[in-house]
């Protein structure tokens, strides 16, 4: 049976209970903090009594939903749903995104995208697997620029909140040694950009990966959490700053 989205079900006036339960799980996933039953019922378009029954059903089936009536509910992180149905547009989004990542110069990330798509295909019903294989949304050829560094080391440093050292050449060719706190990696058509706090400049800087050499992945943890750096950096985006390039 094809997945019926909440919106589609509302338009048709028909919603199977299994589809409603899956929609409730997805809704809880979007809320990182406890949310009241009345709020959930309102977003689902169901009565509060039905909401409480659905919560109890999911809890009985093993979903780690914590909370109770009057206090709010939250889905504990890490819960894995059984194989889901997807809408046509969800399949297109999955395929298009995976195909784009598969053409990036980060070889390990590229292979991971291909493997992830294969895993998704393996758990889909036959009809949806055919739609996934036959997707007509294509990704153009990859840009010719290739970095001289291993981007997987940059991604690992971001995950582990470790400092990176490297030699950087600006647009004019001037070289300088940098020690940075990387917290994001931007993927563009022709370049990849490391977003980091630069110890030399005592400010946020953007470093084109194709201008980085001598990458040194250290074991030194930088003193702030990457989420905090990311939030602070985002607040600076509307403020005039030096152009990308370090």
Phi (first) and psi of residue 70, to 5 degrees? 90, -20
Instruction: Report the 10 Å Cβ neighbour count for 37.
Output: 19
Task: Give the model confidence (pLDDT) of 57-108 as tens digits.
Answer: 888 878 889 987 778 899 887 666 555 566 778 888 888 999 889 888 888 8
| pLDDT score at 105 | 82
Q: How far is CA 34 from CA 21, 66, 222, in A?
A: 18, 8, 31
Ordered domains of the chain (ranges, CATH): 6-75 (1.10.10.10), 88-133 (no CATH), 151-235 (2.30.30)
Beta strand spans in 33-102 (E): 65-68, 72-75
Contact 29, 63 (CB under 8 A): no
Q: How many residues does the chain have?
A: 246
| pLDDT score at 11 | 39
Q: What tokens appear for 221 in the block? A: 């943890």
What is the C-alpha to C-alpha distance for residues 51 and 41, in angstroms, rounded to an integer?
Answer: 6
Phi (first) and psi of residue 193, to 5 degrees? -125, 125
What is the C-alpha to C-alpha distance for residues 114 and 105, in angstroms, rounded to an integer?
Answer: 14
What is the C-alpha to C-alpha distance for residues 16 and 26, in angstroms, rounded to an integer?
Answer: 16
Task: Give the model confidence (pLDDT) of 171-188 as tens digits.
Answer: 999 999 999 999 999 988
Q: Is 116 helix (H, G, I), strand (E, B) or coil?
A: helix
Crossing angle of helices 17-30 and 48-60, rounded to 10°: 90
Q: Is 192 helix (H, G, I), strand (E, B) or coil?
A: strand
The whole model's pTM is what? 0.62
User: Which stretches of the chain score pLDDT less than 50?
Assistant: 1-15, 242-244
Instruction: Report the 10 Å Cβ neighbour count for 19.
Output: 19
Long-range contacts of 97-102 (CB under 8 A, 24+ apart): 99/137, 99/138, 99/139, 100/139, 102/139
What is the C-alpha to C-alpha distance for residues 129 and 197, in angstroms, rounded to an integer?
Answer: 44
> Could you report how far apart the first and last alpha carbons of the chain are, in Å?
53
| pLDDT score at 147 | 75
């Amino acid at each position: 049976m094809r997945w019926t989205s909440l919106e589609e079900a509302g338009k048709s006036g028909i919603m199977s209970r299994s589809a409603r339960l899956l929609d409730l799980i997805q809704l809880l996933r979007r809320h990182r903090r406890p949310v009241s039953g009345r709020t959930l019922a309102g977003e689902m378009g169901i009565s509060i009594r039905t909401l409480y029954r659905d919560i109890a059903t999911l809890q009985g089936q093993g979903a780690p939903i914590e909370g109770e009536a009057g206090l709010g509910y939250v889905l504990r992180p890490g819960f894995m749903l059984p194989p889901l149905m997807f809408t046509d547009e969800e399949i297109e989004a999955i395929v298009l995104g995976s195909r784009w990542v598969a053409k990036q110069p980060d070889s390990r990330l590229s292979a991971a995208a291909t493997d992830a798509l294969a895993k998704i295909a393996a758990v889909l019903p036959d009809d949806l697997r055919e739609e996934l294989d036959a997707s007509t949304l294509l990704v153009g050829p990859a840009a010719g620029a290739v970095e001289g560094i291993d981007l997987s080391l940059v991604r690992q440093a971001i995950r582990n909140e470790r400092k990176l050292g490297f030699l950087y050449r600006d647009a004019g060719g001037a070289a300088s040694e940098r020690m940075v706190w990387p917290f994001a990696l931007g993927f563009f058509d022709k370049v990849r950009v490391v977003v980091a706090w630069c110890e030399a400049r005592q400010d946020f800087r953007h470093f084109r990966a194709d201008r980085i050499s001598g990458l040194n992945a250290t074991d030194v943890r930088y003193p702030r959490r990457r989420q905090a750096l990311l939030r602070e950096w985002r607040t600076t985006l509307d403020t005039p700053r030096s152009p990308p390039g370090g």
